[in-house]
Amino acid sequence: MQCQTHHGNLDELADRVTLLPASHALAHMTSSIKLYGPRSGSSLRTHWVAAEVGMAYDTVPVDFSKGEHKGEAFLAINPMGQVPALVDGDFKLAESMAIGSYLIEKAGSDLGGKTAQQRAQAWQWSLWAALNLYTHLATLASPAWTQHPLAPDVEAAAKAGAAKYLPVLDKHLGAQRYMAGDSFTVGDINVATVLAYGTFAKYDMSSYPHVTTWLAGVTDRPSYAKATNAANA
C-alpha cells in the first residue's frame, strides 16, 4: 500500500513538473551564466543568440577606460583581455561565435541549423563574413572609438575591400531568404553583427538591395530588440 501511495505521489509530481512552462525551467537551468561585454560590436551576437534561444543570464560590464579588461580577475576569464567572454559555473569561454555555439547547444535549440547542410552553411557564411568583410567594415567604424580619423589611403582601401565582398553576399541573399536557406540561423546573427560595423560607420550599402532588405528583416526580430535593450527603451 505504501508503495502504491509513493508511486502516486511521483506521478502527481511528474504532472506538476510537466506543466511548468519551458521558459521557466530554462531560466532556472541557465541562471548561472554570465556574459561579459557590451550589447554592441562582436559582443552583441552573444546577447542576440541568448535572446533568440530564451537563455537567461547575467550581464557583467567591463570598463575598458579603467583597464578592467587587463585586470587579474578578468584575465583569469579571458587571458587575451578581450570581450565577449562567458562564465558558466567553473566553465570559461571566449570568442563570440564559440559562445554563441555553446549557448545554442546548452539550450537544445536548432538555431545552429535544422539539418547538417544548414549548420554547415551557417558556419560557412559566419566565417566568410568574419574573414572577409569584418576587417574592412570595422576599419571604417574605428574612428568612433579611436577618436582619430582614418588616413585617406586607409579609408579608401577599407571601402574597396568592402565593395569587393558585398556583391557576393548580395547575390547569395538574392537567391534565398536567409544565410542558410529558408530558416533563420546563427549564421544570420553572425553576419548581421559584422554588417553592423558598416551601419555604424554610415557606409552606403544602397547598391546591395538584397543585403539591406535581409538586414532590415533580421534586425526587426524581437530577439534583436531584446539583445540591444531597445525593447526596454
Q: Do residues 161 and 102 touch, judged by C-beta distance below 8 A?
A: no
Q: Measure Cα distances from 191 to 40, 64, 110, 182, 184 in Å.
A: 14, 25, 18, 16, 12
Q: Give percent of the chain with pLDDT exceeding 70.
A: 85
H or E stretch at 63? none
d(CA 29, CA 88): 11
Stretch among 19-28, 67-76, 200-209 having the lowest mean pLDDT:
19-28
Measure CA of the first residue to CA of the last residue in the chain; give whole Å: 59
d(CA 200, CA 222): 21
Q: Is the pLDDT of residue 5 over 50?
A: no
User: In 3D, which of 185, 194, 190 has the Cα closest to residue 139?
Assistant: 194
- 126-142 residue pLDDT tens: 999 999 999 999 999 99
- 155-206 residue pLDDT tens: 999 999 999 999 999 999 999 999 999 999 999 999 999 999 999 999 999 9
Q: Which domains, from first to last, does the chain contain?
A: 31-107 (3.40.30.10), 116-226 (1.20.1050.10)
- Whether the ω angle into residue 84 lies within 30 degrees of 0, i.e. cis, is yes
